[in-house]
Amino acid sequence: MFQAFGNIFKVPELRRKVLFTLFIIFIYRIGTYVPTPGIDGVALANFFQSIARTPGGQLFGIMGMFSGGALQKATIFALGIMPYISSSIILQLLTVVIPYLEKLAKEGEEGRKKIIQYTRYGTVLLSIIQTFFISLWLENPYAFQGTVIVPNPGWGFRLMTILTLTTGTAFIMWLGEQIDQYGIGNGMSILITAGIIESIPSALWQTYLLLSPLDPARQQLAWWKFALMVGLFIGTVVGVILIIQGQRKIPVQYAKQIRGHRMYGGQSTYLPLKVNQAGMIPIIFAQSVILFPATIAGFFPHAGLLNQVAQSLGRGSFLYSFVYALLILFFTYFYTAITFNPIEVSDNLQKYGGFIPGIRPGKNTAEYLDYVMTRIATSGAVFLAVIALFPNVMQSPRVLNIPFLIASFFGGTGLLIIVGVVLDTMKTIESQLLMRHYEGFIKRGKLKARR
């Protein structure tokens, strides 16, 4: 493996792509420290620190994860890439219900370019809407426990915030596209991963303080617990890799066809059905839905019923874990049904003379594919629920009682994104090395990308 990393810099084209990607990441990280005009950054940071342990503060932690901590600092990249992710998901869902978008999706490269353009327009529109409400929220001292975050509120501040944050999101989108075109890997995913990895040094420092505090009498983490944490972390990463790489191979046989004096077809292949077809989308949706009441309750502290709902859905409670798991299961089935159409797959197989041995083409093939996908989606959904709830178990006082920043690396969205993006990037680099007669990262077998 180390030899493969050395071979990267022996190929001029691959070396340029890797260095260009690192340069774009460097620019992105600089932008997360450029402040937005008109905001008291110190007061805002103190506010986020004060609500970090409350249920309402968890949603800001999730949004901050996708912005690399820029949200808590109120920088020009505060929105991060979330508007682009939301726009992409909305366009993907609308492709199923709007015939025009469905037609574009089937037109190949030209249709894909138009959908990407619509995604960009949607990103800008969502950014404008979000930044307008963010500016109103920042101007309201009651939302910050009486602390003044904006010294000079008004339409001047609102328009400046809308322009600054929307431009920052558009610039991040452009940076991601530059990686797609001139770098290595998926640009948006790499930028998100870079933001998540940014919190690793803080997590390591907190772990060190728990192991070796200034006052030995206040040591909170025993060495045997630390060894257990390392073992659990390795096991979790291996499990995530297996579930991301896992697929059910459906055998497909193509009938022989005689055209002129030549015979075509007759070969056997397989149809790969992914165990984790939905990726990390179910966890993102489930987190947003279950933490929404707590976030709203934080803005309206005198709403009695809303505060009761927020307290009952507090992180670590049984109701929170139960509802969270149900939401992950629901969104896994929902998103899998959106992205995988068994009728379309069956029609394509029949069009090109392919069939599944023992299954009649057409309706029976579609029903069989739907049956198999439902079964493997169930196992993928259960695994996602376990991975998502694992940090809460690690954080529980009855188990290891470690801070959430450390526990978050034992599962959840962050770990899935990091492992998935690393696998995709390594697959891309490995294919480039093998094309130029170099060894890949593993000597036996090949890496499989998520898509």
Q: What is the pLDDT of residues 69-128, one digit of tens each?
A: 666 677 888 888 888 888 887 887 788 788 888 888 778 778 888 888 999 999 999 899
Do 135 and 158 contact (CB within 8 A), yes or no? yes
**pLDDT: which is higher, 392 or 181:** 181
Instruction: Examine the pLDDT at 46 and tell me if it is beyond 60.
Output: yes
pLDDT digits (tens, 9 = 90+) for 141-154: 666 666 777 888 88
Q: Work out the pLDDT band at 310, boundaries 50, 70, 90.
A: low
Give the whole-angstrom CA distance, residue 173 versus residue 167: 10
Task: Classify residue 87 as left (phi > 0), alpha (psi -120 to 50) or beta.
Answer: alpha
| pLDDT score of 263 | 62
Instruction: Examine the pLDDT at 230 and tell me if it is beyond 90.
Output: no
Give 151: exposed, middle or buried? Use CB within 10 Å, 0-12, 13-18, 19+: exposed
| pLDDT score of 100 | 87
| pLDDT score of 3 | 67
SS3 content of the chain, % helix, strand, coil (to 5): 70, 5, 25
Give the whole-angstrom CA distance, residue 129 versus residue 83: 10
**pLDDT: which is higher, 311 or 367:** 367
Do 300 and 294 contact (CB within 8 A), yes or no? no
Q: Work out the pLDDT band at 440, boundaries 50, 70, 90.
A: low
Q: Work out the pLDDT band at 178, boundaries 50, 70, 90.
A: very high
User: What value does the mean pLDDT take over residues 263-286?
Assistant: 79
Distance of CA 211 to the CA centre of its chain: 31
Global confidence as pTM: 0.77
Give the whole-angstrom CA distance, residue 208 versus residue 202: 10
Do 28 and 197 contact (CB within 8 A), yes or no? no
Looking at this protein, which amino acid is placed at residue 23? F
User: What value does the mean pLDDT take over residues 414-429?
Assistant: 82
Do 68 and 196 contact (CB within 8 A), yes or no? yes
**Which domains are assigned to the chain?**
1-198 (1.10.3370.10), 218-410 (1.10.3370.10)
The first and second tokens of residue 391, run together, are 């940090």
The first and second tokens of residue 354, run together, are 């392919």
Q: Report which listed range, 45-59, 124-138, 314-328, is most confident.
A: 124-138
The CA distances from residue 74 to 43, 67, 163, 199, in Å, are 11, 10, 14, 17
Residue 153 neighbours by CB under 8 Å, 6+ apart: 139
Q: Work out the pLDDT band at 23, boundaries 50, 70, 90.
A: very high
The first and second tokens of residue 147, run together, are 């602390």
**pLDDT: which is higher, 163 or 97:** 163
Strand 354-355 and strand 257-259: the pairing is unpaired
Q: Work out the pLDDT band at 451, boundaries 50, 70, 90.
A: very low
Distance of CA 201 to the CA centre of its chain: 20
Phi/psi for 313 (5° steps) reads: -100, 25
Residue 302 neighbours by CB under 8 Å, 6+ apart: none
**pLDDT: which is higher, 35 or 42:** 35
Instruction: Examine the pLDDT at 58 and tell me if it is beyond 70.
Output: no
Strand 247-254 and strand 268-274: the pairing is antiparallel
User: Among 171, 197, 169, 175, which residue's Cα sits nearest to residue 187?
Assistant: 175
| pLDDT score of 125 | 93
Q: Work out the pLDDT band at 409, boundaries 50, 70, 90.
A: confident
Q: What is the DSSP string of 365-385?
A: HHHHHHHHHHHHHHHHHHHHH
Q: How many CB atoms lie within 10 A of CB 240?
A: 21
| pLDDT score of 146 | 67
**What is the residue-averaged pLDDT of the chain?**
79
| pLDDT score of 441 | 57
Give the whole-angstrom CA distance, residue 116 versus residue 84: 10
The CA distances from residue 161 to 37, 45, 155, in Å, are 7, 17, 10
| 188-197, 361-370, 371-380, 432-441: the lowest-pLDDT one | 432-441
User: What value does the mean pLDDT take over residues 277-296?
Assistant: 74
| pLDDT score of 106 | 78
% pLDDT > 90, the chain: 10
List alpha helices for 258-362, DSSP H.
Answer: 281-299, 304-312, 318-339, 342-351
User: Among 441, 449, 395, which residue's Cα sits nearest to residue 424?
Assistant: 449
Q: Work out the pLDDT band at 37, boundaries 50, 70, 90.
A: confident
Place of tokens 């593993």: 442
Instruction: Examine the pLDDT at 5 and tell me if it is beyond 80.
Output: no
| 240-254, 301-315, 349-363: the lowest-pLDDT one | 301-315
